[in-house]
A and B are shown apart, each in its own frame.
Chain A
Amino acid sequence: MNFDLSEDQRLLKDSVGRWLARSYAFEHRARILASPEGWSRATWAQMAELGLLGLPFAEADGGFAGGPVETMIVMEAFGHALVVEPYLPTVVLAGAVLRHGASAEQRRRLVPLITDGSLVLALAHGEPQARWHTADIATRAVEAAGGWRLSGAKSLVLHGESADRLIVSARTGGAPRDPNGIGLFLVDRKAPGVVVHGYPTQDGQRAAEIGFQDVRVPAEDVLGDVANGLPVVEHAIDEAIAAIAAEAVGAMEAALGMTVNYLKTRTQFGVPIGSFQALQHRAADMFIALEQARSMAFLAVMSAADDDGARRRRAMSAAKIQTAKSARFIGQEAIQLHGGIGMTMEYKVGHLFKRLTMIERQFGDLDHHFGCLAAAGSLLDDA
């Protein structure tokens, strides 16, 4: 049992942290948000140069053989800086689908393009009727001469409008909500029949509603078993939960740091407001919430590669619950303790709160994961 980073991991942490401090200041991010695409291709190219885009992939596929800890390090730093580039959809989500579901030939074809920054991917899985239910897939895939044809609608696809290609889940058999009979298909975003409507989300990131009308997919772009894609998607979502748990830790740490700094410097009644015990204790509770979330982010990260799917999902639900509770508490308290300045778009703490509020809900909100955990039996014997 140890929580130490390896030498290489420490170097990664330092280099990502230094790079973001230098080139991703709050004002710079504001300009990126205001740009037409809502994210920066130049920043993306820098991520490729730093080796971040190929991080989780095997060397044989053209990656750098990192694991969940490396992803954690990157995502925590992204949380601090509120990075908006499509790392989560491309590298974490789609990357995990490729690692767990694609053939060696497909990986060799696609991973080098991700690594060098020339391929942006998105996972088109959620649907308008599904809420957080991962098996609720109505999009249909029908076999047709030498391939498949997809029809249906996907909702809240992260960075769906910027992606060059989409990984689309579709039902090849089974009834709605049946975990079996779901296949995964690689679809060109500009293919005939794909209709993309992109929009900003509350935290300044981008998502899209995407319609598929009889979209043709050649056989070589089927990812894995056409009837058994759901476990792959669920594993990818579990890895994404670990990643955003780490991102949340970064954002919460930034919010607490800004708040403590404000308490020390803001003067009222002739003294720094941090001298008031009512505020000191609230800051202490924020610290506790941060450290509890950090502990559970470690659990999520260390469970991301667990092949026991049931135990892995219990750990992810538990981590997501703690993350959501801490994110909401720290976000709300950071705004309250800042007072009026916390309410403005001109100040970073409000943006941290908005991202934390999204993370709280992404891949299942508190109620959803409590439902999962309550149905899954005791957590106590997984230790």
Chain B
Amino acid sequence: MDLRFTDEELAFRREVRAFLRESLPPEIHRKLAEGCRLGKADLVRWTCILHARGWAVPHWPVEWGGVDWDPVRQMIFRDEVQQFPAPETLSFGTSMVGPVIYTFGSDAQKRRFLPRIATLEDWWCQGFSEPGAGSDLAALKTRATRDGAQWVINGQKAWTTLAQHADWIFVLARTDGSARKQQGISFILIDMTSPGISVRPVQTIDGGFEVNEVFFDDVRVPLENLVGAENRGWDYAKFLLTNERSGQARIGLSKARLRRIRALASTPRNGAPVLIEDPVFRRKLAELEVEVRALELTQFRVIADERHKEQGRPNPASSILKIKGSELQQATTELLMDVLGPAGLVRHAESGPAAFDWARGGTSTYFNLRKLSIYGGSNEIQRTIIARAILGL
């Protein structure tokens, strides 16, 4: 047993940090550090910089642009990116559809899509949820029917994140209405410029535009855009949802936010005593730091276990990462609001007074991150998974 990183791993951490310091454009860094939203151009620019360094998709197979890092290095890389903070690549491409394509897709699909995902030439979005299919995803109703050399898609997707920027969408659609509900679903790649697709943005409680409704009205898609086998889409979706379990905790983001909280609480403002001297506040900060440390160690256990992958069974501890990781991110935004005090009441979108600029992004991040315990399998669904799969209830 040894919890220390090796000298080589520590050197790797320094190498990643030095790269971020040299390469991340300062205006992108500032936006992220202040919890503000990045534009599409920001993410495209940063993805190109990462790609030039060979680090856009390090977790992919080497032949498709991945880097031959072991699980510990993959984790260190993510942790440094999140802590810096630097942008993470667009997960819908790099962590969701990318791995599905290189695992289940045809050679033609791999050659056509993977390089453009890695460089963000193609912006992908995820067409899974529907108005009637949330936690019960397999209840989805969007249909794909065969007509000659094409699929004809009809239906509606909901909560489609950043669809307004998307070039492509990967969709779960029903291809066999007579089968059991998980068994008649297929995984289909659809060009967002296809006639019959319309996108309606939905404003969320943080004031931002992130999610959309996507409507499909007789959208025609070439048959070759089916991934893998017809009616096997549910298996690919499950693969996708459990593929990056250990990445879901995003502990680096919570660490970065706690550091920002400590810095803000230590900064004198308007002659008032600094909050960091308040024992109640310090206790709240200490409480979250302990939780972050505990979750980080739990993540280390999961990662260390990935090295024994031949057993093929996910470490039970990995199911904790989604629940605790999302709860912690939410708790850190609550504490951030506590630091902001009255300044947290100001909305900054258009006309916030400059005197409150230091508080920018805090409260809207709090509103925005309520989503974390809802998406990716709600935390209630996760608890049911623990109860059934681990405890055997």
Cα separation A227 to B291 with both chains bound (whole Å): 38
A295 contacts B384, CB within 8 Å?
Answer: no
| Chain A residues whose C-beta falls within 8 Å of the C-beta of B5 in the assembled complex | 1
Within 8 A of A (CB), among B243-281: 255, 258-259, 262, 279
| Chain A residues whose C-beta falls within 8 Å of the C-beta of B393 in the assembled complex | 260, 263-264, 274-275, 279-280, 283
Cα separation A5 to B316 with both chains bound (whole Å): 18
Cα separation A285 to B390 with both chains bound (whole Å): 12
Residue among A280, A292, A299 with the most chain B CB within 10 A?
A: A292
B317 to chain A, nearest CB (A): 5
A345 to chain B, nearest CB (A): 27
Cα separation A274 to B384 with both chains bound (whole Å): 11
Enumerate the 10 nearest inter-chain pairs by beta-carbon distance, A residue then B residue, closest first. A280-B387, A295-B297, A374-B282, A284-B386, A284-B383, A274-B393, A379-B289, A373-B286, A281-B383, A295-B298
Given contacts A1-B5, A2-B1, A274-B393, whether A283 and B387 have CB atoms under 8 Å apart is yes
B72 contacts A1, CB within 8 Å?
Answer: yes
Within 8 A of A (CB), among B312-327: 316-317, 320, 323-324
- How many cross-chain pairs have Cβ atoms below 8 Å apart between A and B? 140
A26 to chain B, nearest CB (A): 22
| Chain B residues whose C-beta falls within 8 Å of the C-beta of A69 in the assembled complex | 1
Cα separation A53 to B2 with both chains bound (whole Å): 24
Say yes or no: is A268 at the interface (Cβ < 8 Å to chain B): no
The 15 listed contacts between A and B (C-beta, < 8 Å) are: A2-B1, A264-B392, A264-B393, A284-B383, A284-B387, A285-B383, A287-B386, A287-B390, A288-B320, A295-B300, A318-B294, A370-B286, A373-B290, A375-B282, A378-B289
Residue among A371, A374, A375 with the most chain B CB within 10 A?
A: A374
Say yes or no: is B293 at the interface (Cβ < 8 Å to chain A): yes
B387 contacts A2, CB within 8 Å?
Answer: no
Given contacts A284-B391, A318-B290, A374-B279, whether A3 and B301 have CB atoms under 8 Å apart is yes
Given contacts A69-B1, A383-B296, whether A281 and B387 have CB atoms under 8 Å apart is yes
Within 8 A of A (CB), among B291-313: 291-298, 300-301, 303-305, 307
Say yes or no: is B162 at the interface (Cβ < 8 Å to chain A): no
Q: Apart from A260-B392, A281-B380, A299-B3, list 11 A-B contacts with CB within 8 A.
A: A1-B2, A4-B1, A4-B304, A281-B383, A284-B386, A284-B391, A292-B295, A292-B298, A293-B294, A370-B287, A373-B286
B283 contacts A370, CB within 8 Å?
Answer: yes
Closest to A320 in B: B290
Say yes or no: is A48 at the interface (Cβ < 8 Å to chain B): no
**Interface, chain A (partner B; CB < 8 A):** 1-5, 9, 69, 260, 263-264, 274-275, 277, 279-281, 283-285, 287-288, 291-293, 295-296, 298-299, 301-302, 318, 321-322, 370-371, 373-375, 378-380, 382-383
Cα separation A291 to B4 with both chains bound (whole Å): 20
| Chain B residues whose C-beta falls within 8 Å of the C-beta of A5 in the assembled complex | 1
A284 to chain B, nearest CB (A): 4
Given contacts A2-B304, A260-B391, A281-B383, whether A298 and B294 have CB atoms under 8 Å apart is no
Given contacts A288-B320, A288-B324, A379-B286, whether A295 and B387 have CB atoms under 8 Å apart is no
Contact of A295 among B6, B294, B380 (CB under 8 A): B294
Say yes or no: is B372 at the interface (Cβ < 8 Å to chain A): no
Cα separation A322 to B291 with both chains bound (whole Å): 8
Closest to A299 in B: B297
B304 contacts A1, CB within 8 Å?
Answer: yes
| Chain B residues whose C-beta falls within 8 Å of the C-beta of A9 in the assembled complex | 1
Closest to B380 in A: A281
Closest to B386 in A: A284
B9 to chain A, nearest CB (A): 8
B1 contacts A298, CB within 8 Å?
Answer: yes
B297 contacts A296, CB within 8 Å?
Answer: yes
Within 8 A of A (CB), among B29-79: 72
Cα separation A1 to B72 with both chains bound (whole Å): 8
Given contacts A280-B383, A291-B298, whether A383 and B289 have CB atoms under 8 Å apart is no
B173 to chain A, nearest CB (A): 30
| Chain A residues whose C-beta falls within 8 Å of the C-beta of B298 in the assembled complex | 291-292, 295
Closest to B298 in A: A295
Residue among B255, B300, B323 with the most chain A CB within 10 A?
A: B300
Closest to B299 in A: A295
| Chain B residues whose C-beta falls within 8 Å of the C-beta of A279 in the assembled complex | 393
B258 contacts A380, CB within 8 Å?
Answer: yes
Within 8 A of A (CB), among B55-107: 72
| Chain B residues whose C-beta falls within 8 Å of the C-beta of A280 in the assembled complex | 383-384, 387-388, 391, 393
Closest to B4 in A: A1
A360 to chain B, nearest CB (A): 15
| Chain A residues whose C-beta falls within 8 Å of the C-beta of B384 in the assembled complex | 277, 280-281, 284
A322 contacts B323, CB within 8 Å?
Answer: no
Closest to A286 in B: B391
| Chain B residues whose C-beta falls within 8 Å of the C-beta of A383 in the assembled complex | 293, 296
A283 to chain B, nearest CB (A): 6
Say yes or no: is B285 at the interface (Cβ < 8 Å to chain A): yes
Cα separation A69 to B1 with both chains bound (whole Å): 8
Within 8 A of A (CB), among B363-393: 380, 382-384, 386-388, 390-393
| Chain A residues whose C-beta falls within 8 Å of the C-beta of B380 in the assembled complex | 281
B2 contacts A302, CB within 8 Å?
Answer: yes
Cα separation A5 to B304 with both chains bound (whole Å): 13
Cα separation A2 to B305 with both chains bound (whole Å): 8
Given contacts A1-B4, A284-B383, whether A379 and B293 have CB atoms under 8 Å apart is yes
A380 contacts B289, CB within 8 Å?
Answer: yes
| Chain B residues whose C-beta falls within 8 Å of the C-beta of A274 in the assembled complex | 387, 393
Contact of B293 among A284, A301, A302, A318 (CB under 8 A): A318
Cα separation A192 to B380 with both chains bound (whole Å): 64
B3 contacts A1, CB within 8 Å?
Answer: yes
B2 contacts A322, CB within 8 Å?
Answer: no
Cα separation A5 to B2 with both chains bound (whole Å): 10
The contact string, 1 if C-beta is below 8 Å from chain A, for chain B 319-346, is 0100110000000000000000000000
Cα separation A375 to B302 with both chains bound (whole Å): 32
| Chain B residues whose C-beta falls within 8 Å of the C-beta of A298 in the assembled complex | 1, 3, 297, 301
B386 contacts A288, CB within 8 Å?
Answer: yes
| Chain A residues whose C-beta falls within 8 Å of the C-beta of B301 in the assembled complex | 3, 295, 298
| Chain A residues whose C-beta falls within 8 Å of the C-beta of B9 in the assembled complex | 1
A313 to chain B, nearest CB (A): 13
| Chain B residues whose C-beta falls within 8 Å of the C-beta of A375 in the assembled complex | 282
A110 to chain B, nearest CB (A): 29
Closest to A280 in B: B387
Closest to B387 in A: A280
